[in-house]
A and B are shown apart, each in its own frame.
Chain A
Amino acid sequence: MMNASQEIQPILEIKDLKKSFGDKHVLNGFNLKLFEGENLVVMGKSGSGKSVMVKCLVGLMQADSGIIRIKEQDIEILGRSELDLLRTHIGFLFQGSALYDSMTVRENLEFPLRRHKKKLQMKENTETLVREALKNVGLEHTLDLMPSELSGGMQRRVALARALILKPEIILYDEPTTGLDPITSKEIIQLMRSIQDTYNTSSLIITHDVDCARVISNRMILLVDGINYAEGTFQELSSSDDPQVKAFFKN
């Protein structure tokens, strides 16, 4: 695993990101750098702006100010088609899985492939890619099931398979273990690790699950009041004397 270093160009960078909703300032100059092959965890309390930050990152929300650069491209100045192309290099695992519930598992996985396979010059057969992605999350047998026929943990795995189908370089996880029982959470965390090894992706993980952060992170950022309150490895932060930082690791 590569260590974060200032000399290496980050694959994803956020500079001085600000976002407000009316009088409520959610992000007050947030900064972040994600390096190739790195697992960066952003932790913060509920309502601290983690999800807003990640939505700004993929262009689902417009930031008030700041710079977001992905693969050396400033997303604010990209046109629709350029942004769509850039998005094919990013996998996104949503908090609630967000599987298309009118489609089968197979169709869910085929959906991004139908649009971008040619553009990305992927030579493999669609069926092979779908089966491979499902095999990597251990759910090959669910191919023709509807999302409503799957458990919460299985839905999360299928969503992960869909996020990986275009073989992205960056994966964004928005609360990957929220709403799952402890055993399934552990399985998802292990899966995230094995995916990191298989696909050699760079991952940005938004969570408030300390166990998840402990197992998966190379580096962590604590998001408090819309700014980077603290940064470091899990060991550094978990042994900090700062009361705000301690509060995260108390339980």
Chain B
Amino acid sequence: MAGSGIWNNFLAFFEEAGDLFLFTGRFFREVFKPPFEFRELLRQCYQMGNKSLLLVGVTGFILGLVFTLQSRPTLMQFGAESWMPSMVSISIVREIGPVIIALICAGKIGSGIGAELGSMRVTEQIDAMEVSGTNPFKYLVVTRIVATTLMLPLLVIIGDAIALFGSAIIENLKGEVSFLLYFNQVFDALTFADLIPATIKTFFFGFAIGLVGCYKGYNCSKGTVGVGEASNEAVVYTSMLLFVIDFIAVFVADILYG
């Protein structure tokens, strides 16, 4: 009995993965085909980018503060406080910044997309769009996926910068390191090998957030319960996918940059 339950879950997982794969294929077929919905794309970029800025800023700032506060005593034990700006900047830019901000955005943007499209599906708004001679996949899905793909790298860059600023404040207060010295050390420590792979992977993070949110919302059923499920699953699936993408990105970067 339990065995058949596991087997059914296993089959359901592959069925869902197959559907998601087909959905991705449809996205790539539609994204380059006119007409292009520039107006809606700009609106989505504004909604996702501008309206997530405060959340990303606060998260980044606290991340920088806490990370520096927590790391300081350990580095002091080894007499290595002067390494703090280098260590914090590399950790934040390479890994912690992109992953934490992507997870925050999965919660805010991914669940929002899942809930919005899900409710449009169950209230027949997507059908109404189709009947009015508009391709709803292009208008709703393509624009949202492109917007998240473009906006997430920007949000991560801004979040990273604010996190480093937060870290600089702690260093300034506790270690009497000037802002100029702190950021000089940061820019000395960071190389393109840190920045480029980290930025490239955020495009994939953004794509994953938009894709899973849209997939869950667009295929929503079962009424209002389904909308809740779509929103919830969008966050859970995206979070898992982000870690998988992160692992692959780190693995590839390690091969390329040693």
Contacts and interface: CB of A to CB of B under 8 A. Distances in A.
Interface of A: 55, 58-60, 80, 84-85, 87-88, 90, 92, 94-96, 98-102, 111-112, 115-116, 162
B125 A100 contact: yes
A178 B119 CA distance: 20
Interface string B100-121: 0000000000000000100110
B123 A88 contact: no
A94 B124 contact: yes
Interface stretch (B130-138, B166-174, B208-216): B130-138
Given A60-B130, A85-B133, A92-B128, 5 more contacts: A80-B135, A84-B135, A92-B132, A96-B123, A115-B134
Contact of B131 (A87, A95, A115): A87
Contacts of A84: 133-135
Interface string B114-156: 0010011001110111111111000000000000000000000
A242 B251 CA distance: 75
B253 to A, nearest CB: 39
Contact of A60 (B120, B127, B135): B127
A58 B131 contact: yes
Residue among B116, B131, B135 with max Cβ neighbours from chain A (10 Å): B131
Interface string B167-200: 0000000000000000000000000000000000
Interface majority SS on B: helix, strand, loop or mixed?
A: helix
Interface of B: 116, 119-120, 123-125, 127-135
B179 to A, nearest CB: 43
A99 B127 CA distance: 11
A98 B125 contact: yes
Contacts of A80: 135
A240 B215 CA distance: 50
B49 to A, nearest CB: 17
A251 B88 CA distance: 77
Contacts of A88: 132-133
22 contacts: A59-B130, A60-B127, A60-B130, A80-B135, A87-B132, A87-B133, A88-B133, A90-B131, A94-B124, A98-B123, A98-B128, A99-B125, A99-B128, A100-B125, A101-B119, A101-B125, A102-B116, A111-B129, A112-B132, A112-B134, A115-B133, A115-B134
A24 B213 CA distance: 32
Residue among B123, B125, B127, B133 with max Cβ neighbours from chain A (10 Å): B133
Contacts of B131: 58, 60, 87, 90, 92
